[in-house]
Amino acid sequence: MLGFDIGSGYLKIALCEDGIPSSAVCVKMPDHLVKDGRIISYGAMADFISEQIKANEIHTKTCAAALPADGCYIRRSTMPKMTAKQLAVNIPYEFHEFITEDIGSYFYDYAVLGSDGKSLDLLLAAAKKKMLDAYRQMFRRAHLKLRAIVPEELCYGRLLRNHEVRQGMTPGEKDYVILDLGHAFLEVHFYRRGIYEVTRSLEPGCNQLITAISNATGQDEHTVMMRKEHSTGESGTDDLQDLETIYGNMAMQVMRVLNFYSFNNPDNNLDRVYYCGGGSCFQGLMDELRSNIEMPLVDLAELMEGSALAREERTRIGAAAGAVLLP
C-alpha cells in the first residue's frame, strides 16, 4: 500500500510492504499549491500526485493518506457508558469549544480506549466533510484507491505501537513525545502510555530558516530546500547572528512546551524525544535543540526497523508510513 503525507514543503510517498517502508519519494511541493498545511487546489494536487506516480514508476494503486494536524480536531474524553447510537448523537457536542460552524458539517469518529463499567475512555476525532470529500475526489482523479484518511498524530501513534510490538514491549507502559520539524509549523505530539494525548503547534516553522539562508547566500529558496544538509559553517551563514537567533528561539519554544508538559504530568516517564521532518537537516537547529533539551533526541527513523531505506528518507516519511499501518 502507498502512504501519502502532503506537507507545505514536500510531498512524501511511502510504499510499504507488510507495514515496512520499502521505497520512498520525497519531492518539493510546487509553489502556491499548499499554504500553511492546507491544499489550495485539490485538482492541481491530484495532477501533481499522478505525475509523481508515473515519474517514479509506481504501480501500486491502493493508498492511505495522513491528514494534517490542522485538518481535524482530536481529543481525549470520558463519557458515561452508552450505546453506539447514543455516542453518535453526543460526540459532536464534545467539540463545542472548537467548532463554531454547523456541527453537521463535520464527520466524527471515535475509538474506545477503555471502560470501568460506568464510563468510557474515548479518543474522539472531527474533520470537515468537505475536506474528506475533497481528499477522496483528489485521489480518485489521481487514479488511486483511497482506503483510509488518518490524522497525522495517529499515524505517528501507529508507528510507536508497531515499534513496541516488534521490540516485545508491554503496551500501555511507555510515554512518548514526537517533535515534527515541519515547513509551516513545529509540532510537538505527546502520547500518554502509548496513546495520543495532545499536540502543541509552534509557528513559524522551518520556512523561516529557508528564507534566512536564501537571503544570506543569494540562493533561491527552492535550492535551499532541496539540500539534504545545512551546516552552520556554510559560506555566507556562519556569521549570521539572525540565523543563530532563529535557531535559539525555536529550540527555546520546544523546550518550554516539554517543560510545561512535564510540570503538569509529573508522573510521566518520557526519556527521549523522537524527531522527524525536513528541519532535521539544519545542523544549527539540531545543535540548539540538543543544548536546550535534557532528554536525548532520537531520529524517528529508529521506529521503522527492518526498512532498507536510508535514514534521511525514513526521517521524512514517518506520517506517510504510519498511515498504512493497521490501527
Q: What's the pLDDT tens digit per position in 94-135?
A: 998 888 889 899 999 999 999 999 999 999 999 999 999 999
Burial 197-223 (b: 16+ CB within 10 A, else e): bebbbbeebbbbbbebbbebeebebee
With a cut of 50, say whether residue 141 has pLDDT above it.
Answer: yes
With a cut of 80, say whether residue 84 has pLDDT above it.
Answer: yes
Asked whether residue 220 is domain-assigned, the answer is no
Q: Which distant-in-sequence residues (6+ apart) come within 8 Å of 174 by Cβ?
A: 164, 193, 194, 269
With a cut of 80, say whether residue 196 has pLDDT above it.
Answer: yes
Tally of domains in the chain = 1
Question: Which pLDDT value is given to residue 240?
Answer: 59
Whole-number Å distance between alpha carbons of 277 and 35 = 17
Asked whether residue 80 is domain-assigned, the answer is yes
Range of the domain at 95: 2-208+243-323
> What pairing do the DSSP bridges indicate for beta strands 10-17 and 20-28?
antiparallel
Burial 111-141 (b: 16+ CB within 10 A, else e): eebeeeeeebebbbbbbbeebbebbeebbee
**Which CATH number characterizes residue 115's domain?**
3.30.420.380
With a cut of 80, say whether residue 69 has pLDDT above it.
Answer: no
Question: pLDDT band for position 188 (50/70/90)?
Answer: very high
* pTM of the shown model: 0.90
Asked whether residue 230 is domain-assigned, the answer is no
Most confident option among 214-218, 224-228, 248-252: 248-252
Asked whether residue 72 is domain-assigned, the answer is yes
Comparison of pLDDT for 101 and 90, the residue scoring more: 90
Question: Which pLDDT value is given to residue 38?
Answer: 86
- Average pLDDT over the chain, rounded to an integer: 91
pLDDT, one tens digit per residue, over 294-318 is 999 999 999 998 899 999 999 999 9
Asked whether residue 276 is domain-assigned, the answer is yes
Given strand 106-115, what is the order of strands in its sheet? 72-80, 119-128, 106-115
Asked whether residue 221 is domain-assigned, the answer is no
With a cut of 60, say whether residue 292 has pLDDT above it.
Answer: yes
Asked whether residue 218 is domain-assigned, the answer is no
Average pLDDT for 77-104: 93
Question: Which pLDDT value is given to residue 82?
Answer: 95
pLDDT, one tens digit per residue, over 228-242 is 455 545 545 444 567
With a cut of 50, say whether residue 179 has pLDDT above it.
Answer: yes
Asked whether residue 213 is domain-assigned, the answer is no
pLDDT, one tens digit per residue, over 13-65 is 999 998 899 999 999 999 889 887 789 999 999 999 999 999 999 999 999 99
Question: Which pLDDT value is given to residue 241?
Answer: 66
